[in-house]
Chains A and B, each alone.
Chain A
Amino acid sequence: MKFKKAAAMAMACVMVLSLTACGGGKGESGNAKSDGKSEQGSGDAELSVSIWDTNQEPGISEILADFTEETGIKTKVSVVKWDEYWTMLEAGAQGGSLPDVFWMHSNESQRYMSNDMLLDLTDMIKDSDKIDPENYPSDIWGLYTYEDKYYAVPKDVDTIALWYNKKMFDEAGVAYPTADWTWDDVTEAAKKLTKEDGSQYGMALRNDNNQAGYYNMVYDNGGTIISDDKKTSGWDDPKTIEAMQQVEEWIKLGLMPSIETMSENSEDVLFQSGKVAMVFQGSWMVAAYRDNEYTAENCDIAELPKSAATGRRASIYNGLGWAAAANGKHTEEAKQLIEYLGSKEAQIKQAELGVTMSAYKGTSEAWTKSADFNLQAYLNMMDDMVIRPYSKTTVTWENEDNEILKSVYTGDKTMEEACKEMAAQMNEKLAGE
């Protein structure tokens, strides 16, 4: 009997332990996935390509098909959503099983480059007759250069613009936004476009929409998010706080749906379902709105408004890069693919297909014809561009910022308190980099 009891106890212990280990094993499953991929690749040199944007997948696949036709090297593209993408990449990097070719972002590039995770492309670029760094914006090269070595080839460049619903503007009798608008004009228009019964709101701006949203307003107003040397936060700059108080005003006036509604339905869903009249979106969203029947028919684009005080109209911009795994099995083929993706031919095709604006200079003309919107607005935004604020631990402090901003939306904190809190936490994290 005693033995039975002991055995039962032991069984229970094993059960507890093993289940706990299961709960902790999420990372392993990610590993297993990427393992599977590289196995597939080893057969006949099939390159695994990872991206995060479903809207861009059809266009990218078409370009990859061209590459296969030209070189005979097969590719297999997989789309993993933004949040999971970085988890997958992290697990892959740690376990030595990164995809062969993948998108890199300014948020993470520093960390990956400084840890030798990315394939050094410097020689390939020097020897290539297709790629000349002169042909791409130098800031974007900057994102993917570490100790004078190139680790990615620029894929695209993005800017931000204001989307509006023409039908709602007509109904409310408000004139369409123009390039002369200031942020105050947005407020005035939004007041007229908001219906009291909650069936329609003037605009939507989520607490985590920084690049396409409030970062622009901060820089318009002369504020900053991070100092140039990436050592201190600019959230407590009075100019920054002043700009952010504009957002607070919109919340207080009820011009936006509640944070609850916006968290359950993202801005693009609300815009596409005719619930809000204005949203601020990056050029990467164009393909999605073009393919949506409602937005294609009723919506259009204008330049972002200016700050009335400074007259500045800044666009936070960024550009992705095509990078390869340093320890990949097919690094030669990967280099070939990246060279192809960066070539003028592929970049023009990307613009023509309306995937995004291409990084290659002079390809914008093709992109403006890719959809029936005023895409020129996005190009006009290139006159005054600020690279997206980043440091080595961007993700960590950005997530915390979003968390803190939530409490302004719920009315638990004033914007000023939130900004000071964000500055404090960010400074602490920057100090530990």
Chain B
Amino acid sequence: MTHRLPERDRPWMMRTYAGHSTAARSNELYRRNLAKGQTGLSVAFDLPTQTGYDADHELARGEVGKVGVPIAHRGDMAALMDGIPLGEMNTSMTINATAAWLFALYVVAASEQGVDESALSGTTQNDIIKEYLSRGTYAFPPGPSMRLIADMVAYTVEHVPRWNPVNVCSYHLQEAGATPVQEIAFSMATACAVLDAVRERVPEARMPAVFGRISFFVNAGVRFVEEHAKLRAMSVLWEELGRTRYGVTDEKALRFRYGVQVNSLGLTESQPENNVQRIVLEALAVTLGRSARARAVQLPAWNEALGLPRPWDQQWALRIQQVLAYETDLLEYPDLFEGSVVMDGLVDELLEGARAELTRVEERGGAVEAVPYMKAALVESHRERIARIESGEQVLVGVNRFVETEPSPMVGDDGGILVVDPGVEAEARDALAAWRAERGDVSGALAELRRVAASDENILPATLAAARAGVTTGEWASALREVFGGYRAPTGVGEAASPAADEALRDEVGGLSEALGRTLKILVGKPGLDGHSNGAEQIAVRARDAGMDVVYEGIRLTPAQIARSAVDEGVHVIGLSILSGSHRELIPDVIAALDGADIPVVVGGIIPDADVPALKAAGVAAVYTPKDFELDRIMHEIVALVAERHSLRV
């Protein structure tokens, strides 16, 4: 091997994860981003679209157009892609439970542009297991969900050969606290579960082609040397699985293909400008070594821990990629780590750990059966991470060390984030009503969908027909929910270890419980569709360790359900967690649903400073954000709050 390439490598595909408010406004944003040198699209859908609810559903309240674009039918998809030539564009869609549906809308929008499905290229995320484990936008039970994924793979491998039907995500596992070993093992186990499900639905001769279409979506944290080793380990393991488990021999099909969004978990709300250097280092992890270099990269914006990034913030993130690809000499050399003792040693270490972990998952019957085990393991890893940060063993610059700072000039008059116009939701509801009034009769298309769902046929043809007929996202998902039933994923909190919590805190809780005459009882609730449950889980576990009785029922509850539980359970305090930006609507809704019951409410999540006064005015006792990393301090304050309400002294 020489130390130079005959010619400079082509850069990876550059994307920006974007979408908000409406299809038309997102389309404008996409066109602006493409004009700035972005080379692929990455569509962010709002939570109702991701979980299969229309804008007029009770659960959609406060969420429409917030963290992504609402797409209700083929008309919305056509508006989203207006003027973007779908035959040439490579589109990645972060869509899972409803992936088959959004893919169908995309195919229909393309055919309206005169582009045949066989010419389309792009990716649907379509990894339901990590939704159960960390991201929370599932809609159906595991069995039927895996069947939908297998149908997608079987369909695209025949009809849309350049499509990546599944992007197995290790990304969100790291966001939920996974160690590198867990990230490798759990994502590989997920890929195997998908392949095993597809095996039953395609001829064995097609399996190498299927294997070659599975891609990955990974994370890179700030420990960027080890993170690069993780990617090399993943390519080794993937090739191994291909050869031994699926009999793949074609070198090209065996290649580990991955796209990346770098870490959000490590981005800080305090001194947020430091996130820029974190993002740059993480981008190095996925580009530095040629033999494990990302095919596509999207970088978060510096202010993600504050709220939604503005167009300028996203532009800055795109420019990081461009400097790396076009100004540095990174793309001129073969692999930099060939023969590196350090890198090989790290890779071997990770492989050994990952193989052992993979065996544990296999022993439980594979990834689908092992969801409760994996979920509990992630909650446990995250608990350990929080403990390391609290004790100072893990340094976060600007958070638990080097906290002195000048006031930041980066946050402008708008609070440094994008705020979605609150009128968007009503607009979407009106547009939906108009669409329903104007389209023809869709009952036949829905009946056929239900029939196919209950049968063993591939769901895609009936889904495409429904898309053409003008069926809406909520109608498609609702038809399937009728057939498949609903589902609630395990919370993983029950199995979390119970280390010796802070003695003083336990004394406080014990003392207050004695004074109250029964154990201090807290309800931890996640109202709405936001599936990011890490914070709520850690609060629930810590409250238990402090000696409280904790009612935690997982994600996706309506304000009415939360209020009813709080009253029936006789809790002394309610803790609500929202990260999706719907706190302004949902928190007051919960307080209203309490109907005068005198239970103090505290709130945690990504809450801009500007929203705190309104929440306090609505009756919220305290607001916590990511900068409040000391869980014990939060617990002390909760104890004090309850004591004060009951006129007791701690």
- Do these two chains interact? no
Interface residues of B (CB under 8 A from A): none
Chain A interface residues (CB < 8 Å from chain B): none
